[in-house]
Structure 1
């Protein structure tokens, strides 16, 4: 045998133990890794992202979070899906460790998030023809707004638990108040002041005590840290700015919904108190798409019932 090949591939005797290189089977059994890095979108926006790579992906998944979340909301789902797909997630501007520019440079409106989404897909080199976007809460309307202008943006978009139309009656009282002044500023101040209560209870509102579920510690610490940076835009500020432009962008989507050509799936938590299932039912009627309601599930299906979210995403590739 060539001595160089022997040098690199021969077993070694270390401390009396025979050590060999990992077999192909062992490498295959190694769980996928979620890696965190940063990507520049433009001169004002840098996004923190989480990526799970697969050596032979069957497609690509892009996970879009809501309020008050970050990429860590999807870590376990991303690792599981990474067994078959390349998986991406990023923090929206104003959330996690992504940029928090002033509102004279970035409006935090749904249409601005749609632009960021398109820029990320291009910058990351995602193959649109094999891409499934899974988006909830504030992440869903930007995905659909982008799809209006770029129907080939994804193979499938899965959306749920959000407000595509201006229907305040379908929304939680504090969310209704965010849509117009002067109440919007009052709600914004109250939410910033009551961070700890919001982080402790937001994910469980509307659910009975026996339906409370475990929130990963890493995720809780990450979103608490993102909300603690004094002197910068907090996630609540980003959320409030989103709502300041929400009605305009909802109206634009509703007036153009007939142009939507990208395949869409709608999935909703039955117990969502923030956005009633009536909103999902109306979206389903207007898009001629079936609404799937998840029994006993609240506003955050990916946290409460991750196995169901994973199955929805896998089904989009079949």
Structure 2
């Protein structure tokens, strides 16, 4: 009888392996509990998602516009068996405080300052940084200020070169940098509508049916909060402070040579692949992947990105 039970158990396990329902821990991520937490930074509630062992290598996930740590909701548990994964929401985004523009100066310098204080408050001493969209100017500010804390970079549709912001999308935003008037600002309010949010998630994807409406269903109500459009316009203007810093960021890359993984949605109309290739000029230890998807590459290619990220960090 014992032999029969052993045989039956072996057959059952073999079946699970065959159909991909069970995998060896060294090969595939396991499910992990994700915690949803808040800390006070300069009187602001900063929300963050956290998972994985505290003593494991840390991956700091920095989100883009117009989303929040919500964009990493699937990546976090896919990494957390081997890594300590932390994803904060910036002020004005997600579940963090969103003071008015009169009560908080919405600049990328200030966002980076809040994230820097956040890392120190939650005890992150060394980390890899996942840079996406707005996460790039926030993360590069951190890296330049504290190069000793940065172990690796993961760049996903996050720009550090002029070549990536010379397309049609940026023309009205650049006009606002030159002429910060109500008239120029009003031209950008269309970027804050439901149609624009859906477009960011669906443009350039292979199959729109793979993109969950939960994405814009989460983002748009937050964009539609009272005074939030003014917050976003302030950051559109502040984005103009980033290109003058590109040479400094590029010098950081050349000097410190952080091992870097690029996983870039090549069909992105905001940060096209033209912004990915210049990293090759400055980095010697670079793993480079262009993915056949759009701006929010994790939505369609999250499994692929998790595999690439685990392989990269595993080295």
TM-score under structure 2 length normalisation: 0.78
Which residue of structure 2 lines up, in the alignment, with residue 307 of structure 1?
303
CA distance in structure 1 between the partners assigned to 2:77 and 2:38 by the alignment: 19
Counterpart check, 1:257 vs 2:250: yes
Residues 178 and 240, structure 1, Cα contact 8 Å, conserved in 2? no
Instruction: Give yes or no for contact 1:154–1:262 (8 Å, CA) kept in 2.
Output: no
Candidates 221, 235, 241, aligned match of 2:234: 241
2:166 is aligned with 1:169: yes
Matched, 1:58 2:53: no
Alpha-carbon deviations, 1:26-82, whole Å to 9, x = none? xxx983122212111112x2211111133x753222211111112221111111111
Specify the alignment match of 1:201 in structure 2: 199
CA-based RMSD of the aligned residues comes to 2.7
Q: For residues 255 and 49 of structure 1, do their structure 2 counterparts lie closer, same or farther at Cα, with a shift above 3 Å needed?
A: closer
Aligned to 1:280: 276
State which structure, 1 or 2, has the greater radius of gyration over its C-alpha atoms. Answer: 1
- SS of 1:133 mapped into structure 2: strand
- Cα deviation for residue 107 of structure 1 reads 2.7
Q: Secondary structure at the match of 1:148?
A: helix
Which of these residues, 129, 152, 159, is aligned with residue 156 of structure 1?
A: 152
CA contact (8 A) 1:113 1:142 kept: yes
Matched residues, number: 279
1:69 partnered with 2:64: no
- Aligned pairs for 1:17-96 (under 5 A) are 31-43=31-43, 45-54=44-53, 58-96=56-94
Shift of 1:249: 2.9
User: Which secondary structure does the structure 1 equivalent of 2:187 belong to?
Assistant: helix
State the TM-score, normalized to the length of structure 1: 0.77
Task: Describe the shift of the 1:256–1:59 C-alpha distance in structure 2 as closer, same or farther (beyond 3 A).
Answer: closer
1:257–1:287 CA contact under 8 A, matched in 2: no
2:217 is the alignment partner of 1:224: no
Going from structure 1 to structure 2, the CA distance change for 1:223 and 1:256 (only over 3 Å counts) comes to: closer
Alignment of 1:120-159 (within 5 A): 120-128=118-126, 131-159=127-155
Instruction: Provide the residue aligned with 1:268 in structure 2.
Output: 264
Report the CA distance shift for 1:215/1:302 in structure 2 as closer, same or farther (over 3 A): same
- Supply the distance in 2 between the matched residues of 1:282 and 1:245 (Cα, whole angstroms): 23
Tell me the secondary structure at the aligned position of residue 281 of structure 1. coil
In the alignment, structure 1 segments of 5+ residues that lack a partner are 1-28
SS of 1:158's equivalent? Answer: strand
